[in-house]
Amino acid sequence: MIRIGLIGSGFIGKAHALAYRTAPAVFELPADIRLEMLADVDAATAASAAERLGFARSTGDWRALVEDPDVDVVDITTPNHLHEEMALTAIAAGKHVYCEKPLAPSVEGARRMTAAAEAAGVKTLVGFNYLKNPITTLAREIIESGEIGEVFGYRGTHFEDYMLDPETLVNAWRLDPAAGDGVSGDLGSHAISMARYLVGDIVAVSADRHTITTERPAGEGATMRRIDVADALRATVRFAAGARGTLEASWMAPGRKHTITAEVWGSKGALTFDFERLNELQLYRTGQQRGREGFTTILAGPAHPDFAAFVPAPGHQLSFNDLKTIEVRDLVVGLSTPSAGCWPDFREAMEVQRVVDACIVSDRARAWVDLGDI
């Protein structure tokens, strides 16, 4: 029995809750999940969310949740700058920690969190849920199996447009430098984690940060405040294994609602996908019959990892929330396996954050930065 303590019940907190409810019926889990306690900004909000989402208890004080002896896992879905204190407190209390991405606003915090978790021997999982898509897993399988040969090129993006309107504030905390460098950590970290998952360590970057809207209202009807965090991030990167590529992220990409793309080029072929159609992968292989060459559109189906548990028919489509359900399955399996941890853990998330920070340093230096220096 794994007893969950969830902090936060907004967009992503609700997604976690849905995943906890669904995972045991979708997968055959090695342990039961108990929705033990939910914490939110105040007791009333927490109580209402707990009632709706099926948690047994609630609290307006996240510390009470963290300290609660009946909580095994502390699940942190709060804004980025709150992760560290919550995680360190949970680790100190001997709890496992499931934390949303990015792990911390900067690599220093991520390092502290990783060190604390590893010293305490607790298990950690960070919510880079796009890695859990069966299509993503398929992409990695294709790469690892050598089907597309030696990888030499990569193109990764994460584009949305929720910050496009200069008058509208969406998640104003995201514009606070204390929460990190805007889109660099918010969407950029997704693009970086995907690149690392598919092609491995990044060893050097040359990045350009762009603050497009330099003033935004501080709140509803409020005066304008100066904005310094990145609205767009562009980088050329080099991987340890020799591949080169580009990484791009923007939350001001007009019309792009959920464009998370990867394009991987190898000596024997290529693959690409776009999460606006998150159940599709395009695969090209050299050596096809002459005149029949082309990209094949593969629809996610029961032949692919983790799909059949949801629906045994190909083409029947998984959703954003389903990716979280797979992530929760990984959490439960990781916690239930003595010799293993969860993945991606704090250390991996720290490595992602190192790349984010390298981009910021590179932007300031107007030069390439080696990851070894971060």
C-alpha span between 166 and 168 (Å, rounded): 6
Quote the least distance from Cβ 346 to a copy of itself, whole Å.
26
Dmax over CA atoms of the chain, in Å, equals 67
* Residue 53 makes contact with a copy of itself by CB under 8 A: yes
* Residue 165 makes contact with a copy of itself by CB under 8 A: yes
* Residue 210 makes contact with a copy of itself by CB under 8 A: yes
- Specify the residue for token string 């002459």: 290
Answer for which of 115, 169, 203, 311 binds a copy of itself (CB under 8 A) is 311
Give me the amino acid identity at 315.
G
Q: Is omega for the bond preceding 24 within 30 degrees of 0, making it cis? A: no
Window 255-274: residues binding a copy of itself (CB under 8 A): 255-259, 265-270
Strand partners, 238: 204, 244
C-alpha span between 351 and 174 (Å, rounded): 21
Answer for which of 115, 208, 217, 225 binds a copy of itself (CB under 8 A) is 208
For a copy of itself, the closer of residues 4 and 113 by Cβ is 4
* Residue 168 makes contact with a copy of itself by CB under 8 A: no
Answer for which of 30, 61, 178, 286 binds a copy of itself (CB under 8 A) is 286
Helix (H) or strand (E) segment spanning residue 137? helix 134-144
Closest among 252, 270, 244, 236 to 158, alpha carbons compared:
252
Answer for which of 7, 8, 14, 358 binds a copy of itself (CB under 8 A) is 14
* Residue 238 makes contact with a copy of itself by CB under 8 A: yes
Answer for which of 253, 326, 331, 371 binds a copy of itself (CB under 8 A) is 253
Quote the least distance from Cβ 68 to a copy of itself, whole Å.
22
For a copy of itself, the closer of residues 297 and 337 by Cβ is 297
For a copy of itself, the closer of residues 20 and 346 by Cβ is 20
Can you tell me whether residue 289 is helix, strand or coil?
Answer: coil
* Residue 239 makes contact with a copy of itself by CB under 8 A: no
C-alpha span between 319 and 326 (Å, rounded): 11
Window 60-99: residues binding a copy of itself (CB under 8 A): none
Residue 234 is encoded by which pair of tokens?
């562009």
Determine how many CB atoms are found less than 10 A away from the CB of residue 231: 22
Residue 283 is encoded by which pair of tokens?
């695969």
For a copy of itself, the closer of residues 55 and 346 by Cβ is 55
* Residue 37 makes contact with a copy of itself by CB under 8 A: no
Quote the least distance from Cβ 107 to a copy of itself, whole Å.
22
Determine how many CB atoms are found less than 10 A away from the CB of residue 167: 7
Q: Is omega for the bond preceding 102 within 30 degrees of 0, making it cis? A: yes
Answer for which of 164, 187, 198, 360 binds a copy of itself (CB under 8 A) is 164
CB 284 within 8 A of CB 149: no
Window 112-141: residues binding a copy of itself (CB under 8 A): 138
* Residue 198 makes contact with a copy of itself by CB under 8 A: no
